[in-house]
Amino acid sequence: MSYVRVATLSELAEDTPKRVEIDGTPVSIVRTEGEVFAIYDICSHANVSLSEGEVEDCAIECWLHGSTFDLRTGKPSGLPATRPVPVYPVKIEGDDVLVSLTQES
C-alpha cells in the first residue's frame, strides 16, 4: 500500500476539515476525537465539498443539505444522501500525516 504525506498533525486543527488532493482525488483530512481520518471530499448526494462542512461526533456534515457521513466508514447517517463515500487509510509517522488512496470501505 502506497502512502502520500498530506499534512502535519500541527497543521490540522481539531474538528476542522482540511481539503487536499492526492493524484487528482479530493480528500478531506479531519482530526477529531484523538484520531485522524481521510474521507472522499465530495458529497455523494450533491457533488459539493465535504471539507466545507462541520465535524461533530466523528461525522462530517455536508453544508448544502445537511447529510452527515461517518468518518470511520463513509456511510451517511441522514437523508438526503443514501450512498456512502470512500474512506482511506491514514498513518501517522512522527508529525507527518500520510494517506493511501486504497479504500478501506
pLDDT tens digits, residue range 93-104? 999 999 999 865
Across the strands, what pairs with 19? 28
pTM (two decimals): 0.93
Residue-wise pLDDT for 7-63, tens only, equals: 999 999 999 999 999 999 999 999 999 999 999 999 999 989 999 999 999 999 999
Cβ proximity of 12 and 5 under 8 Å: no
Cell of 3: 502512502
Q: Is the dihedral of CA 101, 59, 15, 17 positive or negative?
A: positive
Q: What is the grid cell recorded at 64?
A: 448544502
Q: What is the mean pLDDT of residues 62-73?
A: 95
pLDDT at 105 over 80: no
Place of cell 457521513: 69
- Rg (the chain; Cα; Å): 12
**How many whole angstroms separate alpha carbon 60 and alpha carbon 86?**
13
